[in-house]
Chain A
Amino acid sequence: MTAWFEWLANTPMSVSIRESLWGYPIIETVHVLGLCLFLGFTMLLDLRLLGLSMKRTPASEVCGKLEPWMVGGFAIMIVSGGLLFYGDPAKFYGSIFMRIKFAMLILAGVNVLIFKLGTYRRVKDWDLRDKTPSGAKIAAGLSLVLWFGIVAAGRAIAYFLPPG
């Protein structure tokens, strides 16, 4: 695996991201702007599922209307994050916080999947109810906790990079 990442690090595009003056700042800026769109909408959606925001709007409507923007925002995050990783793959691969971040990203994805296949299938039954079902609350709470962790791990990656 390490050998493969070293090969990746020597590809011309990886070298140019790493060595260009503007490469990292520009990609990081896109990553942070994508964060607003994706994570901001995710938080507002989670707050709806917790019954804390947009209470008079059906949950299915909030989910449905926000989804295309969240998918777009997530694509921005993945592409810009992927490029940041690609700029120095061997180093990032060695970072424990990178691995923790990936693990939590996968958990966040599984959380969405379980919610969509479970509680959300019966959304018509609780769409406008004052109290959202516990399945929705658990999914929203887990999502907020996981994203807190993902942001924290992301910050830690930059501060505790392994040498080299």
Chain B
Amino acid sequence: MMPIVQWLGHSGVAQAIHNSSWLFPFIEIFHLLALALLGGSVIMVDLRFFGLVMTDKELPELSRDVQPWLRLSLAVILTSGFLLFISEAAKMYSNEAFRFKMLSLALALIFTFTIHARFTRSESGASFSGKLVALTSMALWACVGLGGRAIGFV
């Protein structure tokens, strides 16, 4: 893994971001905006499991409506996150918080597109297991966010 990380870190794009005084915060703006849209989409669908928001819409319909924006925000947040990562590749690779974030991210993505997706397609959102799925989803995404916040502090 380390050779790939080093190669990424030495690439032209990574060096350009690393050596620029404004590119890193500039990319962070898009990372944060995508975070808002992604977080908002996740929270809205998961709160709907509990019947707490958009109650006039059925869960499958709300989930379908939000889906394109969830995917767009994921594309933006993963791309911007990748660029931020490679600009500090070696440092990030050994950062405990970053590893925790990537592990949480992998789990959150898998969960969202498998179990969570199955529950949003059925009407069984209001069931106990549905609520458990919604809680798990919010907890996994919160771990990604907390891991991200912690990167700068460990």
Residues of A within 8 A of B (CB): 25, 28-29, 32-33, 35-44, 47, 53-57, 61-62, 65-66, 69, 147-148, 151-152, 155-156, 158-159
Contacts and interface: CB of A to CB of B under 8 A. Distances in A.
Nearest to B33: A151
A36 B43 CA distance: 8
A44 B29 contact: no
A77 to B, nearest CB: 11
Contacts of A62: 54
B91 interface: no
A32 B149 contact: yes
Interface of B: 25, 28-29, 32-33, 35-44, 47, 53-57, 61-62, 65-66, 68-69, 142, 145-146, 149-150, 153
B37 A43 contact: yes
A151 B32 contact: yes
A121 B147 CA distance: 44
Contacts of A40: 36-41, 43-44
Nearest to A24: B153
Given A37-B40, A40-B36, A57-B57, A47 B69 contact: yes
14 contacts: A32-B145, A36-B40, A37-B39, A37-B40, A40-B38, A41-B44, A42-B40, A43-B40, A53-B69, A57-B56, A69-B47, A155-B25, A155-B29, A155-B32
Contacts of A148: 29, 33
Given A37-B40, A40-B43, A65 B54 contact: yes
Contacts of A155: 25, 28-29, 32
A39 B40 contact: yes
A158 to B, nearest CB: 8
A112 to B, nearest CB: 17
A28 B149 CA distance: 8
A32 B35 contact: yes
Nearest to A159: B25
Given A33-B142, A57-B56, 7 more contacts: A36-B35, A37-B40, A44-B69, A56-B61, A62-B54, A65-B54, A148-B33
Contacts of A53: 65-66, 68-69
A33 B145 contact: yes
A147 to B, nearest CB: 8
A109 B86 CA distance: 38
Nearest to A22: B153
